[in-house]
Chains A and B, each alone.
Chain A
Amino acid sequence: DAGVIQSPRHEVTEMGQEVTLRCKPISGHNSLFWYRQTMMRGLELLIYFNNNVPIDDSGMPEDRFSAKMPNASFSTLKIQPSEPRDSAVYFCASAGGGSMTGELFFGEGSRLTVL
Chain B
Amino acid sequence: DQQVKQNSPSLSVQEGRISILNCDYTNSMFDYFLWYKKYPAEGPTFLISISSIKDKNEDGRFTVFLNKSAKHLSLHIVPSQPGDSAVYFCAASPNNNDMRFGAGTRLTVKP
Contact = CB atoms under 8 A, between A and B. Distances in A.
A34 interface: no
Given A102-B34, A102-B96, A103-B34, A45 B101 contact: yes
Interface residues of B, number: 25
Chief secondary structure at chain A's binding surface: strand
B81 interface: no
Contact of A95 (B44, B96, B100): B96
A31 B49 contact: no
Interface in B86-105: 89, 91, 93, 96-104
A108 B102 contact: no
Contact of B43 (A50, A102, A103, A106): A106
B102 A42 contact: yes
A14 interface: no
Nearest to B2: A41
B32 interface: yes
Interface in A70-107: 91, 93, 95, 99-107
5 contacts: A91-B44, A102-B93, A104-B44, A106-B45, A109-B42
Interface of A: 4, 31, 33, 35, 40-45, 48, 50, 55-56, 91, 93, 95, 99-109
